[in-house]
């Protein structure tokens, strides 16, 4: 194991760029599909409204059943393949906008208006419509594919890999959700890039002095030692520099100049968590869960959890600072959106998707890619072995 006080290595390592096409294709993504993925915020799915989503290139329609529980079906009517997400939701069922075929939360057809009320049995009322509380007997016309769903911590998850009992990991819990003293809010951002490239961006310190110059960090020409631990499907980076500073909102979170504890944590297959903590009373955590839409298109659900070190009523502090915190984090994320677009343009400019070159500063990225490639190949065997190493880079 290299001593982190040594000079950084200049050895160049090249690897093929990630296969964006396969990563976002439900038929070719291997074990990447065998995890829970965020489909929407709970607030984005009100009762009585359908919501269209595309995950792993597969079109879904989400709506709430008669009990308010989320359901996800393939967004394609069995009759003439019209999108159900363009239809209406009533009594926990969804109707096709083309001919009115109606589906319950299991994906079964429960009404075909053109056949009259007798087609689906006596559960329809005298006018031939399903009413709340009636147990409608399904028509013998097949079922739409249904995807398992889960709702927790203000998020609705979908499992794309079949029976969710075979999920390789439980759904991720939002840091500090519901804990006293902490405020949590969400940002939903569409990024023009694939999952691997995005989680690497969210875990990357060296880019901050270029992409976020003046907003997050300023070039300081300082040496940064860190420990990179790859274990149990995660990559943890602990930065060994307590005097590191964050510009912008850093002054609000750390008015006393306390040492900062900074960690970046990746969890397979698509999740990052970045923590900045100052003592026991102040800090914020940025948790990003990336959902693939297509090869170079993703939705990122970012939970910002923060605690402020002021002896004032929490409601007063939140009311005074929340608009500023939201505005600031929005600007920073927009900068990442722009640089991810720039990277995508470079990747797509030529055959083979390009080649990645890396040095010691990219060790954590190599670990992330090793996990992603293993899952893409099917996730067989034990996967990448546990390892802990020291690295050094400059910012």
pLDDT of 259-282, one tens digit each?
788 899 999 999 999 998 887 778
Q: pLDDT digits over 50-94, tens only?
A: 999 999 999 999 999 999 999 999 999 999 999 999 999 999 999
Q: Percentage of the chain surpassing pLDDT 90?
A: 61
In the three-class reduction of DSSP (H, G, I as helix; E, B as strand; rest coil), residue 238 is classed as strand
Residue 352 burial (CB count, 10 A): 9
Find residue 90's DSSP bridge partners: 93
Return the biggest CA–CA distance within the chain.
Answer: 83
* Count helices and strands in the chain by DSSP H and E runs: 6, 20
Give me the phi and psi of 115, to 5 degrees please. Answer: -100, -5
Q: Is residue 1 very low, low, confident or very high in pLDDT (cuts 50, 70, 90)?
A: very low
Top pLDDT among 180 and 221 is at 180
The token duo for 274 is: 């970045």
| Residue whose C-alpha is closest to residue 228's, from 78, 129, 368, 35 | 368
Sheet of strand 58-64: strand arrangement:
36-41, 155-159, 146-152, 70-74, 58-64, 51-55
| Residue whose C-alpha is closest to residue 141's, from 79, 96, 83, 88 | 79
In the three-class reduction of DSSP (H, G, I as helix; E, B as strand; rest coil), residue 311 is classed as coil
Residue 24 burial (CB count, 10 A): 24
pTM for the structure as a whole: 0.89
Q: Is the pLDDT of residue 4 over 70?
A: no
């Amino acid at each position: 194991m290299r001593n982190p006080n040594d000079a950084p290595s200049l050895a160049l390592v090249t690897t093929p760029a990630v296969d964006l096409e396969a990563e976002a294709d439900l038929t070719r993504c291997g074990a990447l599909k065998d995890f829970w993925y965020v489909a929407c915020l709970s607030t984005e799915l009100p009762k009585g409204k359908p919501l269209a989503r595309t995950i792993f290139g597969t079109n879904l329609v989400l709506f709430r059943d008669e009990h308010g529980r989320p359901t996800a079906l393939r967004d394609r009517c069995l009759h003439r393949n019209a999108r159900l997400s363009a239809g209406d939701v009533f009594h926990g069922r969804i109707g096709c906008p083309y001919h009115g075929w109606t589906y319950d939360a299991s994906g079964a057809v429960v009404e075909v208006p053109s056949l009259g009320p007798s087609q689906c049995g006596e559960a329809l009322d005298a006018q031939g419509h399903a009413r709340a509380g009636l147990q409608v007997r399904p028509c013998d016309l097949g079922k739409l594919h249904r995807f398992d769903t889960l709702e927790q911590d203000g998020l609705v998850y979908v499992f794309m890999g079949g029976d969710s009992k075979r999920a390789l990991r439980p759904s991720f819990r939002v840091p500090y959700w519901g804990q006293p003293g902490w405020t949590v809010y969400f940002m939903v951002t569409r990024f023009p890039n694939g999952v691997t490239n995005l989680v690497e961006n969210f875990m990357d310190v060296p880019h901050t002095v270029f992409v976020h110059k003046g907003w997050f960090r300023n070039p300081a020409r300082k040496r940064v030692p860190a420990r990179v631990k790859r274990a149990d499907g995660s990559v943890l980076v602990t930065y060994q520099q307590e005097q590191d500073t964050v510009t912008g909102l850093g002054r609000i979170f750390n008015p006393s100049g306390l040492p900062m504890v900074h960690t970046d944590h990746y969890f397979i297959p698509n999740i990052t968590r970045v923590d900045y903590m100052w003592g026991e009373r102040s800090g914020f955590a940025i948790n990003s869960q990336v959902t693939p839409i297509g090869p170079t298109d993703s939705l990122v659900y970012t939970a910002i959890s923060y605690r402020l070190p002021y002896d004032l009523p929490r409601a007063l502090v939140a009311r005074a600072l929340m608009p500023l915190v939201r505005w600031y984090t929005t600007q920073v994320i927009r900068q990442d959106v722009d640089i991810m677009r720039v990277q995508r343009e470079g990747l797509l400019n030529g055959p083979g998707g390009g080649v990645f070159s890396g040095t010691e500063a990219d060790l954590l990225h190599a670990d992330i890619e090793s996990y992603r490639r293993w899952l893409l190949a099917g996730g067989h065997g034990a996967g990448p072995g546990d390892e802990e190493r020291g690295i050094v880079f400059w910012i």
